[in-house]
């Protein structure tokens, strides 16, 4: 974690990730880079469906290989790079036949490391293999939920899942939220923890830095008028004025279950996550 000298009020508490682990002078690999159109949180009809998005610096999208399904082919890590579209660092790897790909970089990966994807690969950070061959207690990331679809779980900075058990064609995985989920043990997973684990400690320091990242201001509901929000109105600071916490559109939140009870994948949830409220009361 990098801190700054307090040359101004915004710099006093500002922090950023430590980029010393990145390969110096590395430039994006052009064949794996493209430009994405910025939609500012709007759908195809032009209506805002995700609030507080827009603006920000121009950036290029790195095409990440979340599948890493080139079996039994060794690859060498060429560079560790910053990715403006994600919190984790990425690695450019090169296979023996000259093909290159971007992958999510685990903690402590460095240029020159050798990795492999196999049904049963050596237990080493960065290697990828089927869940049934990963020892119980190991940390994994970029985990598939359906064989061949590519990694969907544990892809953000510092994320990892813990392998709890392998039995009857399924692997039980413990998520960061505390939820225990059952996945087919033929799914692929990478060993280790996603890089840049200190991301959760970053302090933007000033509003301008949020705008650089494409984050627009958030207005408190209590500062609005009654017509604009359930919390709005009143003279000065007022209590919420509604028994249950609600969204801008009056939908009950804060403890209200939003998951569809008939969702088929619920059968694979062994243990539900612990709510933040209950977690803080312990």
What homologous superfamily is domain 18-199 in, according to CATH?
Nucleic acid-binding proteins (2.40.50.140)
How far apart (Å, rounded) are the C-alpha atoms in residues 234 and 250? 18
DSSP 1-53: -EE---SSHHHHT-EE---TTSPTT----GGGEEPPPP-TTB-TTS-BSSSSB
| 89: helix, strand or coil | coil
Binning pLDDT at 50, 70 and 90, where does residue 280 land? Answer: low
> Is beta strand 188-191 parallel, antiparallel or unpaired with respect to 128-130?
antiparallel
Percent of the chain residues topping a pLDDT of 90: 90
**Residue for token pair 């710099």:** 11
Indicate the domain borders of the chain: 18-199
Helix, strand, coil in percent for the chain, rounding step 5: 10, 25, 60
How far apart (Å, rounded) are the C-alpha atoms in residues 105 and 276? 29
Q: Tokens in use for 195?
A: 């890089």
Q: pLDDT, tens digit, for every residue of 176-190?
A: 999 999 999 999 999
Q: Which residues pair with 42 in a beta bridge?
A: 48
* Average pLDDT along the chain: 93
pLDDT at site 281: 59
Q: pLDDT, tens digit, for every residue of 196-214?
A: 999 999 999 999 999 999 9
pLDDT at site 258: 83
Q: pLDDT, tens digit, for every residue of 57-87?
A: 999 999 999 999 999 999 999 999 999 999 9
The answer to whether residues 170 and 184 touch, using CB atoms and an 8 Å cutoff, is: yes
pLDDT at site 257: 82
Sheet bearing 114-115, strands edge to edge: 100-104, 90-95, 75-81, 114-115
Q: Give the pTM.
A: 0.90
Residue 129: left (phi > 0), alpha (psi -120 to 50), or beta? Answer: beta
Q: Tokens in use for 233?
A: 């109105």
Query: What stretch of H or E contains 277?
Result: helix 276-281
């Amino acid at each position: 974690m990098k801190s700054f000298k307090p040359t101004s009020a915004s710099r006093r508490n500002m922090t950023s990730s430590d980029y010393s682990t990145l390969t110096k002078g590395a430039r994006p690999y052009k064949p794996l880079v493209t430009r994405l159109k910025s939609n500012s949180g709007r759908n195809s009809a032009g209506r805002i469906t995700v609030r507080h998005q827009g603006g920000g610096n121009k950036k290029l999208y790195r095409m990440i290989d979340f599948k890493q399904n080139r079996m039994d082919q060794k690859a060498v890590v060429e560079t560790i790079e910053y990715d403006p579209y994600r919190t984790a660092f990425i690695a450019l790897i090169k296979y023996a036949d000259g093909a290159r790909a971007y992958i999510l970089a685990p903690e402590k990966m460095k240029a020159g490391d050798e990795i492999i994807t196999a049904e049963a690969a050596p237990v080493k950070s960065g290697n990828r293999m089927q869940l049934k061959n990963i020892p119980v207690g190991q940390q994994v990331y970029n985990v598939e939920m359906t064989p061949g679809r590519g990694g969907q779980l544990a892809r953000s900075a510092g994320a990892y899942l813990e392998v709890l058990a392998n039995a009857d064609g399924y692997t039980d995985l413990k998520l960061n939220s505390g939820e225990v989920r059952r996945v087919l043990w033929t799914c692929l997973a990478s060993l280790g923890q996603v890089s840049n684990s200190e991301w959760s400690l970053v302090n933007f320091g000033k509003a301008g830095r949020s705008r650089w990242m494409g984050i627009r201001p958030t207005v408190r509901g209590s500062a609005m008028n009654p017509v604009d929000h359930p919390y709005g109105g009143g003279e000065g600071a007022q209590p919420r004025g509604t028994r249950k916490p609600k969204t801008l559109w009056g939908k009950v939140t804060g403890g209200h279950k939003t998951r569809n009870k008939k969702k088929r994948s619920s059968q694979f949830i062994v243990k539900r996550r612990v709510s933040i409220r209950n977690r803080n009361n312990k």
